[in-house]
Amino acid sequence: MKLFFREMGQGPALIILHGLFGSSDNWLSVAKILANDYRVILPDARNHGQSPFSPEHNYTLMSEDLMELITSLNLQQPFVIGHSMGGKTLMKFLTLYPGIVAKAVVADISPRYYSKHHDHILIGLASIPVQTLESRQLADQLLAEKIQDLGERQFLLKNLHRDENGQFHWRINLAVLTKEIENIGEGLTETIQVDTPTLFLHGGASNYLTERDLPLIASIFKNYQIQTIEGVGHWLHAENPQEFIQDVVTFLKSNP
């Protein structure tokens, strides 16, 4: 699948893969800083943003999409950052396409299986009648019945797009993501070991990546590091972008 992507900067290629319900838009502020040193490429995953919708959504397909992007842009040994779902995609990619990525940064996710925990989001989004919706304010009021956190609602409602005719529609494939949600949490099952230098960045207040994940990470990734950004949760790049960028750049510029 040919993905929609944004591009900025010059230098070594750096691809950033967003998480579930996100898009390339979520990474623009970080990308603008990284673009001082890198050619930053921000794709929208399938069934997200401005990329095509598909009836299937799994990490094998998303890895194939990433390979198509790398090939079509003729990128040689790119760096890749993946957050959450994007991190899962990156880990899968490293097992399926060894030697393609120079260095990898996996942001706040591990190779293990995660049980479903997005039902409240899916139910909340499905409660919004986009065909007859009159305003974003009404959408927020309806979503607030399921999701109390304002920041989380604002993040999710970035997917609500109004066309030139004033009609709202989703820039996520809500029906397919609901159907395929179990695949989002699947664990890495490949027995192949990854030699690519890989940095695991962990939000200190997040439970997505914990000490119990270290044996599994070590069994798959032969050349890994793990660092913690204290005081931040799963959205570590948004909560402390300065330290996130510093850790990423230090790792990318270090000797292999």
Shared-domain flag, residues 128 and 48 = no
- According to DSSP, the β-strands at 103-107 and 198-203 are parallel
Catalytic one of 57, 83, 234, 237: 234
Give CA–CA dist 134/141, Å, rounded.
Answer: 12
Give the range among 34-48, 74-88, 130-144 with minimum mean pLDDT: 130-144
Shared-domain flag, residues 205 and 103 = yes
Shared-domain flag, residues 126 and 154 = yes
Identify which has the larger pLDDT, 219 or 191: 219
Domain hosting 86: range is 5-114+186-253
Are residues 100 and 66 in contact, defined by beta-carbon separation less than 8 angstroms? no
pLDDT at 175: 95
The 3-class SS string of 3-67 reads CCEEEECCCCEEEEECCCCCCHHHHHHHHHHHCCCCEEEEECCCCECCCCCCCCCCHHHHHHHHH
- Region 210-217: mean pLDDT is 94
Shared-domain flag, residues 107 and 218 = yes
Give the range among 22-31, 119-128, 138-147, 183-192 with minimum mean pLDDT: 183-192
Q: Phi-psi bin for 14: left (phi > 0), alpha (psi -120 to 50), beta?
A: beta
Per-residue pLDDT reduced to its tens digit, 191-207? 789 999 999 999 999 99
Per-residue pLDDT reduced to its tens digit, 47-84? 999 999 999 999 999 999 999 999 999 999 999 999 99
pLDDT at 39: 98
Mean pLDDT of the chain: 95
Q: How many CB atoms lie within 10 A of CB 162?
A: 13
In DSSP notation, 198-213 reads EEEEEETT-SSS-GGG
pLDDT at 256: 72
Residue that terminates a domain, selected from 179, 208, 226: 179
Shared-domain flag, residues 221 and 160 = no
Are residues 112 and 216 in contact, defined by beta-carbon separation less than 8 angstroms? yes
Q: Report the percentage of the chain scoring pLDDT > 90.
A: 93
- Region 138-148: mean pLDDT is 93
Shared-domain flag, residues 18 and 103 = yes
Shared-domain flag, residues 88 and 161 = no
Predicted TM-score of the model (pTM)? 0.96
Number of domains in the chain: 2
Catalytic one of 84, 110, 202, 206: 84
Shared-domain flag, residues 171 and 190 = no
Q: Which of 69, 104, 79 is nearest to 220 (CA)?
A: 104
Residue 177 phi/psi, 5-degree rounding, is -65, -35
Shared-domain flag, residues 123 and 233 = no
Active site residue 84: yes
